[in-house]
């Protein structure tokens, strides 16, 4: 019966959590304070200073190596040159440790200089990688895992971790749509997920969290779990990969205090070179309109005025008037007026951390300020973000450890409302340079004596987007997000670890959108009124509140057999666990029209209609999981994962599912027959995996509970009696047997490490099948309502990825490296209920992103060629020389789409695909002493962009921006080999 009550398991109070966290922090603080009274520490004040240098076997300094006086908590770390200095008794022993090297102990023996040379530890050289509910050595991984360390994120001019991870991990695809500082990154792992959407699960220290709300400088490492075997323990939310983020914590040694500030500038990259010469512009547009309708867009007087200004661009030639209408012949370069050259950004980061043998702490504060790309400092978008991270860890005794974490994020933004316009290239492209901006201060109205009549309008905006920027209102929001986590770890017996943690998240966001009236002046001097409201609707104010709460409980036990490795041939580790998550979301919105004054932005200061809206949703997940690792002689690797998952989003009888995975690996380099290559080959591993995961992320298309019919409510548009009558409408049909989409992943990979691990290569090939996707199946029209969703569609993604890294040194203090990431994937529909084969729906064999269109033959050079060619009238009229000629693929003598089906596409064919292909990232870096240079390049080798109806090159008008190459590359009798056809409107 318990499985039927998932949605009732929402805890009602979390007040106990913060006191427990404070208790843990208090223990840590008290213990450190008590240690100050320790005689061994007090005696250090009279001890001698010992200094030295720590290097590897080749004499290369090791920066950041740990140096500790054995048996005490006294220690330090080496600087960039590998030097250290600390106080210690003359008879003490120093312990030197560094990742990838064997720990070394050196007795002081009364010396004041103690140097250490640390040998490479082949068994430890592979770094430890964070995986699901634990860690593993990278050399023992059998799943596909990508890794990014803190160096990729620290001290870079980025606003979010998503920006810093772009191009670093192969097939981790991160897209940022525009320059909006509040815009978040979209994450994707290994291509298209499902026709119902999907995204990777992002966990920060084991807790689901928005990566955009984390200070990049707090991140220690990022692991990307790509295949089902690596992500299986996360079940329903990890169907399309998992991104594991580990934050920093205190290190044993002296207290570390860090402060950094950064001023950077981001430059928008766009390639628009508009025609700004008025005469060239109107001549080109007239050619297009004459070809289309036989009439020019601009009359001879206007063309003459444009030519006059082009030849002599003085203010007196900029304006004219005809029939009481102002005419602008000048040049307004709206790119420069709207888009700034740079967006300034400031960051401030402060952290303090430290640790003893018993306790550790890490506290950081971050501040980010970033402006948008609007070329108006006062009206520009302003975005600010504040971050706080507090982590404590306390070892109570040999078997009990307590840890606590507080993560707080606050964001606020203030930007122009724009009446739902975005400040981007599409907005700028709506306006040509001959569009007038403001009412002129020139006596060209009707007669010079009329100047006094129109003087009040001087400087007022005409109807471009710029008045919306300055006076169209503002959109603001303030968002606060806090995560509280308390964890307990038990080590009751050798090899056995038991851990439990509970996390609570509260997110609250308040938005206020204000659309103010905009006074627009007309170019028609006889208009009545000459000043109008620029809004197409009423001015209004809308306030919205989003309040989300989330709860996460994890508990797992891990046992490592043969933990002391007495029998080095066998290694076996098993883990079982339980996970419960609850989510609760509330939304409320109120809107009121007709502001009394734009200076008072309050709903109560309105006189128009007022409306409210709201909703509330809840959901939950529950799962039990396991993992089994077996290693034989460090050569043969095996791992089994599985999860029994339940979700409230499906009906009671179909709520739970079991999703297993298996993986294996062969460390070929550990075989005896590879001994001859040990001088240059550090690792050669082949691995493979198979696994299945369930996807329950279907709420975007079908609601939070797609198996329950929902009722609609509204108000009748007709007045009955004293007012409009509210009503409730019945919902459509739903399927009672909806269940999981299943994601089956297969992966084969290769890991190579050469030349003392200077060169590392990882390659993977994978297939991912998403089965039983939800879709609406066709029913007879007499059904009378929408068809219910069913698990009736499949797709397959095939892809590969490659990562190559080189790390080396130069001189005594220099290091350099290069990381290359390259990947590709394609997705194909393998099952879909489309019996008619309609091209407007998905169909079997379709590659996601396919573009259907006509194949071009070339450009008609003469009207005689048009007459002799297949009939193109089904897709357009008045074809003539200069137009595009299309191929008659089916040979029926005409150009059309046929029935727009697979069996009868007419002359339609696949002419491209919008899926980005062959994405790459190149990251070179050089470090010398305290100086560093990091470069980043990211791109695509192939991408097709559909027109989406925006064919400015072929269809210019006086409201579309025209670029210079349209003129030079458009067909004309004098330019028959042009790339573009002759212009049309």
Distance of alpha carbon 799 from the chain centroid: 21
347-400 pLDDT, tens digit each: 999 999 998 888 999 999 999 999 887 777 788 889 999 999 999 999 999 999
**Pick from 176-190, 457-471, 503-517, 961-975: least confident:** 176-190
| pLDDT of 953 | 43
> Distance between CA 391 and CA 483 in Å, rounded?
12
**Pick from 252-266, 474-488, 605-619, 773-787: least confident:** 773-787
Among all chains, which residue has been given the structure tokens 């490592």?
A: 560
| pLDDT of 586 | 95
> Distance between CA 710 and CA 360 in Å, rounded?
51
Mean pLDDT of 704-733: 70
13-45 pLDDT, tens digit each: 333 333 333 333 333 333 333 333 344 333 444
pLDDT band at 901 (very low <50, low <70, confident <90, very high): very high
Which one has a higher pLDDT value, 583 or 155? 583
pLDDT band at 479 (very low <50, low <70, confident <90, very high): very high
**Pick from 107-121, 193-207, 231-245, 687-701: least confident:** 687-701
pLDDT band at 577 (very low <50, low <70, confident <90, very high): very high
Record the tokens describing residue 273, joined without a space: 């070179």
Residue 333, by phi and psi: left (phi above 0), alpha (psi -120 to 50) or beta?
beta
Q: Is the Cβ–Cβ distance between 697 and 198 less than 8 Å?
A: yes
Which one has a higher pLDDT value, 10 or 975? 975
Q: Which residues of 543-576 are buried (b: 16+ CB within 10 A; e: fewer)?
A: bbebebbbbbbbebbbbbeeeeeeeeeebbbebe
Q: Is the Cβ–Cβ distance between 580 and 621 less than 8 Å?
A: yes
| pLDDT of 234 | 85
Record the tokens describing residue 381, joined without a space: 């978008």
| pLDDT of 419 | 46
Q: Is the pLDDT of residue 670 over 50?
A: yes
Q: Is the pLDDT of residue 700 over 60?
A: no
> Distance between CA 77 and CA 627 in Å, rounded?
37
As beta bridge partners, residue 237 has none
| pLDDT of 34 | 33
Q: Is the pLDDT of residue 291 over 60?
A: yes
| pLDDT of 753 | 92
Mean pLDDT of 792-812: 90
Task: Pick from 177-186, 204-213, 376-385, 407-416 the range whose average pLDDT is largest.
Answer: 407-416
Q: Is the Cβ–Cβ distance between 706 and 698 less than 8 Å?
A: yes
Task: Identify the architecture of domain 38-118 in CATH.
Answer: Sandwich (2.60)
Q: Following DSSP, what letter does each residue of 566-612 receive, concatenated? A: SSTTEEEEEEEEEEEEEEEEEEEEEEEE-BS-TT---GGGB-S-EEE
Beta carbons within 8 Å of 626's beta carbon, 6+ residues apart: 233, 574, 575, 576, 577, 640, 641, 642, 643
Mean pLDDT score across all residues of the chain = 83
pLDDT band at 554 (very low <50, low <70, confident <90, very high): very high
Which one has a higher pLDDT value, 722 or 862? 862
Q: Is the Cβ–Cβ distance between 583 and 6 less than 8 Å?
A: no
How deeply is 614 buried, as exposed, middle or buried, from its count of CB atoms within 10 A (0-12, 13-18, 19+)?
exposed
In the Cβ-directed half-sphere of 314, how many Cα atoms lie within 13 Å? 2
Q: Is the pLDDT of residue 256 over 80?
A: yes
150-180 pLDDT, tens digit each: 777 776 677 788 888 888 888 888 877 666 7
> Distance between CA 326 and CA 441 in Å, rounded?
12
| pLDDT of 52 | 94
| pLDDT of 426 | 56
> Distance between CA 278 and CA 2 in Å, rounded?
75
Q: Following DSSP, what letter does each residue of 347-401 receive, concatenated? A: EEEEEEEEE-SSEEEEEEEEEEEEE-SBS-TTTS-EEEEEEEEEEEEEE-SSSEE
Q: Is the pLDDT of residue 446 over 70?
A: no
Share of the chain above pLDDT 70, in %: 85
Radius of gyration of the chain (CA): 34
Nearest CA among 486, 548, 573 for reference residue 205: 486
Confirm whether 38-118 and 128-252 share one CATH topology.
no
Q: Is the pLDDT of residue 444 over 60?
A: no
Would you kindly state where each structural domain of the chain is located, as residue ranges? 38-118, 128-252, 850-911
| pLDDT of 723 | 66
> Distance between CA 533 and CA 77 in Å, rounded?
67
Residue 420, by phi and psi: left (phi above 0), alpha (psi -120 to 50) or beta?
left
| pLDDT of 424 | 53
> Distance between CA 444 and CA 439 in Å, rounded?
11
Q: Is the pLDDT of residue 957 over 70?
A: no
pLDDT band at 883 (very low <50, low <70, confident <90, very high): very high
Beta carbons within 8 Å of 46's beta carbon, 6+ residues apart: none
Q: Is the pLDDT of residue 427 over 50?
A: yes
Q: Is the Cβ–Cβ distance between 385 and 409 less than 8 Å?
A: yes
Sheet harboring 66-69: ordered strands across?
A: 75-77, 66-69, 93-98, 101-107
End-to-end CA distance of the chain: 67
Mean pLDDT of 252-281: 83
CB atoms within 10 A of CB 960: 18
> Distance between CA 440 and CA 449 in Å, rounded?
15
Q: Is the pLDDT of residue 6 over 50?
A: no
Which one has a higher pLDDT value, 200 or 99? 200
Nearest CA among 539, 548, 540 for reference residue 590: 540
Mean pLDDT of 686-709: 76
pLDDT band at 100 (very low <50, low <70, confident <90, very high): low
Nearest CA among 882, 877, 878 for reference residue 980: 882
For the whole model, what pTM was predicted? 0.79
DSSP 118: E
> Distance between CA 290 and CA 68 in Å, rounded?
85
Q: Following DSSP, what letter does each residue of 804-856 receive, concatenated? A: EEEEEEETTTEEEEEEEEEEEEEEEEEE---TT-BTTS--TTPBTTEEEEEPE
Which CATH code is given to the segment(s) 128-252? 2.170.130.10
pLDDT band at 748 (very low <50, low <70, confident <90, very high): very high
Mean pLDDT of 615-643: 92
Q: Is the pLDDT of residue 123 over 50?
A: no
Q: Is the pLDDT of residue 456 over 90?
A: no
Distance of alpha carbon 570 from the chain centroid: 42
């Amino acid at each position: 019966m318990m499985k039927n009550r998932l949605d009732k398991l929402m805890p009602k109070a979390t007040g106990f959590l913060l006191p427990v966290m404070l208790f843990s922090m208090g223990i840590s603080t008290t213990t450190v304070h008590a240690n100050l009274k320790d005689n061994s520490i007090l005696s250090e004040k009279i001890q001698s200073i010992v200094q030295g240098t720590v290097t590897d076997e080749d004499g290369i300094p090791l920066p950041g190596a740990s140096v500790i006086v054995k048996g005490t908590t006294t220690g330090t770390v080496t600087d960039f040159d590998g030097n250290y200095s600390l106080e210690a008794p003359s008879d003490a022993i120093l312990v030197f440790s560094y990742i990838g090297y064997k720990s070394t102990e050196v007795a002081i023996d009364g010396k004041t200089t103690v140097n250490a040379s640390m040998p490479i530890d082949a068994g430890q050289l592979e770094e430890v990688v964070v995986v699901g509910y634990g860690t593993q050595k990278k050399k023992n991984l059998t799943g596909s895992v990508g890794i990014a360390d803190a160096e990729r994120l620290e001290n870079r001019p980025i606003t979010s971790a998503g920006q810093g991870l772009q191009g670093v991990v192969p097939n981790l695809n991160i897209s940022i749509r525009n320059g909006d500082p509040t815009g978040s990154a979209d994450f994707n792992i290994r291509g298209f997920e499902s026709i119902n959407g999907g995204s990777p699960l992002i966990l920060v220290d084991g807790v689901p969290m928005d990566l955009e709300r984390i200070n990049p400088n707090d991140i220690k490492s990022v692991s990307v779990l790509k295949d089902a075997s690596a992500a299986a323990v996360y079940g329903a939310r990890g169907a399309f990969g998992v991104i594991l983020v580990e934050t920093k914590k205190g290190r044993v040694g002296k207290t570390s205090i860090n402060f950094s500030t950064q001023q950077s500038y981001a430059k928008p990259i766009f390639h628009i070179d508009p025609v700004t010469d008025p005469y060239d512009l109107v001549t080109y547009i007239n050619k297009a309109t004459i070809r289309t309708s036989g009439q020019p867009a601009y009359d001879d007087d206007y063309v003459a005025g444009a030519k006059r200004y082009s030849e002599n661009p003085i203010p007196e030639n900029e304006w004219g008037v005809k029939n009481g209408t102002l005419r602008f012949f000048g040049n307004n370069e709206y790119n420069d007026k709207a888009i700034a050259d740079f967006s300034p950004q400031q960051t401030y980061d402060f952290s303090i951390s430290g640790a003893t043998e018993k306790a550790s702490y890490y506290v950081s504060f971050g501040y980010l300020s970033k402006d948008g790309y609007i070329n108006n400092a006062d009206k520009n978008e302003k975005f600010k973000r504040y971050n706080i991270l507090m982590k404590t860890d306390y070892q109570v005794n040999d078997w009990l450890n307590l840890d606590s974490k507080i993560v707080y994020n606050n964001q606020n933004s203030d930007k122009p409302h724009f009446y739902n316009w975005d400040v981007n290239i599409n907005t700028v492209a709506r306006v040509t340079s001959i569009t007038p901006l403001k009412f002129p201060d020139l006596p060209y109205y009707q007669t010079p004596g009329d100047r006094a009549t129109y003087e009040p309008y001087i400087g007022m905006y005409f109807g471009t987007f710029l008045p919306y920027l300055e006076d169209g209102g503002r959109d603001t929001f303030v968002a606060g997000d806090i995560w509280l986590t308390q964890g307990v770890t038990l080590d009751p017996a050798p090899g056995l670890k038991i851990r439990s943690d509970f996390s609570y998240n509260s997110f609250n966001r308040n938005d206020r959108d204000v659309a103010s009236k905009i006074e627009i002046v007309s170019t028609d001097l006889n208009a009545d009124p000459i000043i109008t409201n620029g809004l197409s609707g009423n001015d209004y104010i809308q306030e919205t509140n989003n309040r989300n709460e989330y709860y996460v409980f994890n508990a797992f036990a891990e046992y490592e057999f043969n933990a002391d490795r007495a029998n080095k041939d066998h290694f076996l580790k098993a883990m079982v666990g339980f996970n419960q998550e609850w989510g609760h979301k509330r939304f409320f919105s109120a809107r009121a029209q007709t502001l009394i004054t734009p200076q008072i932005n309050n709903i109560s200061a309105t006189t128009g209609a007022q409306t409210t809206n709201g909703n509330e949703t809840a959901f939950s997940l529950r799962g039990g999981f396991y993992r089994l690792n077996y290693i034989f002689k460090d050569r043969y690797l095996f791992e089994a994962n599985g999860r029994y998952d339940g979700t409230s989003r499906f009906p009671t009888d179909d709520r739970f599912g079991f999703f297993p995975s298996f993986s294996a690996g062969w460390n070929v380099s550990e075989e005896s027959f590879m001994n001859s290559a040990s001088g240059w080959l550090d690792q050669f591993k082949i691995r493979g995996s198979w696994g299945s995961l369930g996807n329950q992320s279907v709420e975007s298309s079908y609601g939070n509970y797609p198996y329950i019919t929902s009722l609609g409510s509204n108000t009748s548009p007709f007045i009955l009696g004293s007012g409009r009558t509210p009503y409730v409408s019945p919902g459509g049909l739903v399927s009672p047997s909806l269940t999981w989409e299943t994601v089956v992943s297969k992966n084969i990979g290769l890991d190579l490490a050469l030349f003392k691990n200077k060169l590392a290569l990882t390659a993977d090939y994978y297939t991912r099948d998403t089965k039983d996707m939800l879709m609406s199946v066709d029913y007879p029209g007499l059904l009378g309502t929408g068809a219910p969703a069913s698990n009736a569609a499949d797709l397959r993604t095939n892809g590969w990825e490659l990562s190559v890294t080189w790390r080396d040194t130069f001189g005594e203090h220099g290091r350099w490296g290069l990381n290359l990431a390259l990947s590709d994937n394609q997705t194909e529909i393998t099952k879909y209920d489309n019996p008619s084969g309609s091209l407007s729906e998905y169909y079997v064999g379709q590659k996601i992103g396919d573009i259907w269109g006509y194949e071009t033959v070339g450009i008609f050079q003469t009207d005689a060629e048009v007459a002799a060619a297949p009939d193109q009238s089904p897709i357009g009229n008045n074809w003539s020389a200069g137009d595009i000629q299309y191929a008659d693929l089916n040979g029926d003598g005409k150009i059309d789409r046929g029935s727009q089906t697979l069996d009868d596409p007419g002359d339609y064919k696949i002419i491209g695909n919008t899926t980005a292909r062959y994405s790459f990232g190149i990251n070179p870096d050089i470090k010398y002493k305290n100086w560093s240079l990091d470069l980043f390049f990211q791109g695509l080798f192939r991408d097709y962009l559909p027109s989406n109806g925006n064919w400015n090159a072929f269809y210019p008008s006086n409201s579309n921006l025209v670029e210079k190459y349209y003129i030079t590359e458009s067909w004309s009798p004098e330019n028959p080999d042009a790339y573009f056809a002759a212009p049309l409107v």
